[in-house]
Amino acid sequence: MPFNIQYFSFNDERDYILAAAAASALLLIMFAGVARYFKVVNTLFHETGHAVFTLLSSGTIHKIELSKDSSGITMSGNLRKVGKVITALAGYPFASGFAVLLFYFVSTNRIFEAGIVITAITVINLLFWVRNTFGIVWLILFAGIQWALYYLNLPLVSFFYIALAAFLLLFESLAKAWTQFRLSVTQSSQSGDAYLLQKLLVLPAFFWAMVFLMIALLCLYLSLCFFFSFPFFSLFL
């Protein structure tokens, strides 16, 4: 039996929808023409992680940019060295960890709560942080879809949408971590947050990229634990 119904009572219809969401996420990521627009989901949460920990480190956020190629940047200031380290560390784990949170919502059928959290993050970015044209338009469309699903009251469509967002975030955060790891070996100056941490601390970009990749793999494992029986997860049930 593919899903552990001992822990979660999914009906067959939702099981099929979940599988369709996973397949759709993989297909969307594979097609280069449209993939970049869907990959921005990961960029949104990655940059939100930087922004949140900038504020927690007593820094200021000037702006966030979300780009068509699924890249992003958080421009911040007034950070001491420890704040810069914390902020640089935050992006990859925040995106991967948020994927786990979404899978928790999906596994417990708390789709409304998941929609509220995603919408809140989208609106905060739209009102306070994102300032480039593409990013603003993308956020408006993203928030608009969420509002439409709530207004139309389509439970199964909403379930698919949240599951799709969760799989997109999970797959893309893992893919980004792998790309950064590869670049840290071949072109360390192009390895983003890992290279920034190398400049701030003694350890090389390769080490930090490996840490981010391990976190992404752990989050993949934890996400699967909501639907499959694994020894580690059973310790907490």
Give the pLDDT confidence of 14-68 residue by residue, as tens digits. 888 998 999 999 988 887 667 788 899 999 999 999 999 999 999 999 999 999 9
Structure confidence at residue 7 (pLDDT): 42
Domain assignment present for 117: yes
> Closest by alpha carbon to 114, among 127, 126, 101?
101
Give a yes or no: residue 71 inside a domain.
Answer: yes
Tokens read off for 51: 């922004």
Q: Indicate whether 197 belongs to any domain.
A: no
pTM above 0.85, yes or no: yes
188 in a structural domain: no
In a domain, 163, yes or no: yes
Task: Provide the number of structural domains found in the chain.
Answer: 1
Domain holding 78, by residue range, is 12-178
For residue 198, being part of any structural domain is answered with: no
For residue 187, tell me if it sits in a domain: no
- Determine, yes or no, domain membership for 68: yes
First to last CA, the chain: 19
Is residue 218 within 8 A of residue 93, CB to CB? The reply is no
Q: Between 228 and 1, name the one with better pLDDT.
A: 228
